[in-house]
Chains A and B, each alone.
Chain A
Amino acid sequence: MNGSSYLLAGIIGSFAVSCYALVILPQRQLGGLQPQTVLDEGKITDIYPIDNVSVEKGRAVYASQGCFYCHSQQVRDEQNGTDLMRGWGVRRTVARDYIFEKTPYLGSMRIGPDLANVGSSKWRNEPEDENSKYKPAKRDAAWQLLHLYAPRTVIKISNMPPYRYLFETRKIGGERSADALPLTGRDAPKPGYEVVPKPEAKALVAYLMSLDKSHPLKEVKGSAPEVAAK
């Protein structure tokens, strides 16, 4: 072999190693992951995760708006950060949590809080202190809609952009619409008008409310005593 053969062999070989180690091996290890099932007398009593197709539309809105450039969807363990102590989850997330997501929105940046468990009633982004002015809000669907339309009405110093274009302002015909936003002050529409979510906003919020990766898994130590017992 002459010099340039070594060069080309080195370049091709090193690429093959890189591709094998970081693409093919991970796929071989993780590509076949199945949901965790719990059997009780031969019957499946519990299965996680499940493929929740009902929120696919909302998932698409989440991607289309680029939510994942500011919000991660992965909870790290105690050794890797304060995620658990902040109330973003009760356990770290692992590969099995994402098996039904074609593209998981793991995220690389946190300009906003992690949303892996935002649909769980236990999720919080403020310390659990009843007397604090930062007392955690109850983040139900109505709260999420209001927050999307005008983040600063619910979090005074929020840095999130408003998504007013996912809503429409329309004239109240007859009765006030049931899902009209309870807006006050300068965010309120003109008298006789109301702000209602477009289908995209509703789908997005339905997706957000579905996010919950707190189900115990046997590979996460300390997360699954009752599952392990069965």
Chain B
Amino acid sequence: MSEPLLVVKDLAVHFETEDGLVQAVDGISYTVERGKTLGIVGESGSGKSVSSMTVMGLTRAGNARISGSITFDGKELLTASNSDMRSIRGGDVAMIFQDPLSSLHPFYKIGDQLIEAHRSHNDVSKAKARDRAVEMLTLVGLPDPRRRIDSYPHEFSGGMRQRVMIAMALINNPKLLIADEPTTALDVTVQAQILELIQKLQAELDTAVVMITHDLGVVAEVTEEIAVMYAGRIVEYGSSDTIFAAPEHPYTWGLLKSIPRLDTPRDEPLVPIYGRPPSLINKPSGCSFHPRCPYVREAHKKVDPGLEPTGGADATHKVACLLPAETRRSLWAALRAGETPDQVLQEVDIPANTLSPSAEGQTGEEVTGQ
């Protein structure tokens, strides 16, 4: 248990396009321990899917420039050959996608697809693989699996298709399951079924899970650690308890305050995040979040913050923010009490030039968004 299952270090994934270089992922690091769950939260275009697809070796296109390192179970994946990647993909690392209809082949019976997934990684007879497929379909709670194994994907409802996808992903006992928005296309009641299923199977099979989602409710229910991504970077990282109880990045605050919740008073106003996510071709200088941040100071437009420990109670808690730690804490305390950013700004004094430790030695330097 000592060595982490997945170590992603300084991963950058850039794509050359006609419009310019898209910096989809721009230097992120995280680790996933065996059997644990990491949540990656972010909006569209934050790089959350690209980073996980790179783990699977799915971004190896001609125009992609990938740097950094991805170590899975002691093996470097970025330099692995395509055939090595093929044996890892679907074997030790499996993925489930948002839309179960487009990720299942419409022409083949689900049984044939499950059998192929099993036989391409294991030297077993068709009959044995079929037994395994039935076993997996039973495990994911598909009713009457012996008969339904000969059905086509369109004969299933959305929730059942997602169960089939999960069965296929887990058929080779993967050590790591990457779930990319697995419940976004589903109704809440079905979402609850699928989340429960993933958690149950994870406990039984001791699979580590990377859960990618934009839904803070989903990560709160199923993950132990959370990485918040913005514009290709991780801007905050910590245990899920910390991220929800004591977040320190203004973007995380924005996310938490802009969703209506069932457990807060109904008339509590929503505080939207102004503006919109930046272009990944032409990122803002300094802190990428500065054009949308209500607490921006002149210096934040020049200095690029690094992801640094917050020094709080949670030792894993890290944040990439140029505000001094004590300022961040008083800002969140006021926001949490129900104040809007405008009210908060009148009360909390933000020093114009004091920067958090992460920026030390950088002030005045020319920093670009690269």
| Bound together | no
A residues engaging B (CB < 8 A)?
A: none
B residues engaging A (CB < 8 A)?
A: none
